[in-house]
Structures are given as structure tokens and as C-alpha cells.
């Protein structure tokens, strides 16, 4: 198995990553919302709050 960030062989201590650095890079991508899970419109729940910044195009995160 290779690291999903840099494709080097994985380290059992950091699996599925090769290092703590690559694990942190992946975490940062999740926190910046670079990764998104697809949701079909019919699966949306009207009781769900809007995403942060949705509806306020001038707001910066």
C-alpha cells in the first residue's frame, strides 16, 4: 500500500500514510474542505443548517 498523499510506502505507525507530515497534510485538506462527500439533492434534509458562508458571498472564512 502506498501513501495517498505522496505515494511512498506506508509506515505502520502512521498507516495509511508514510509519515506524520502526510497525515497532517491530509487533515488540513479535510479542515479546508478540499474533500467533500457527494450528496444528491433528494438526500438533503431541510432541517440541516446551511453550510458556513452559504448565502453570504462576501464572507471570508
Dihedral angle sign, alpha carbons of residues 24, 30, 57, 49? negative
pTM above 0.75, yes or no: no
Residue 59's pLDDT is 55
Q: Write out the three cell numbers for 61.
A: 472564512
Q: Is the pLDDT of residue 50 over 70?
A: no
What are the structural domain ranges in the chain?
Answer: 1-35
pLDDT tens sequence across 2-43: 999 999 999 999 999 999 999 999 999 999 989 888 878 776
- Does residue 23 have a cis peptide bond before it, meaning omega lies within 30 degrees of 0? no
- What's the CATH superfamily of 1-35? Erythroid Transcription Factor GATA-1, subunit A (3.30.50.10)
Q: How confident is the model at residue 49 (pLDDT cuts 50, 70, 90)?
A: low
Amino acid at each position: 500500500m502506498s501513501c495517498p498523499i505522496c505515494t511512498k510506502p506506508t509506515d505502520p505507525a502512521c498507516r495509511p500514510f508514510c509519515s506524520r507530515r502526510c497525515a497532517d497534510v491530509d487533515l488540513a485538506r479535510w479542515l479546508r474542505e478540499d474533500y467533500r462527500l457527494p450528496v444528491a439533492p433528494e438526500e438533503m434534509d431541510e432541517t440541516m443548517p446551511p453550510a458556513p458562508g452559504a448565502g453570504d458571498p462576501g464572507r471570508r472564512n
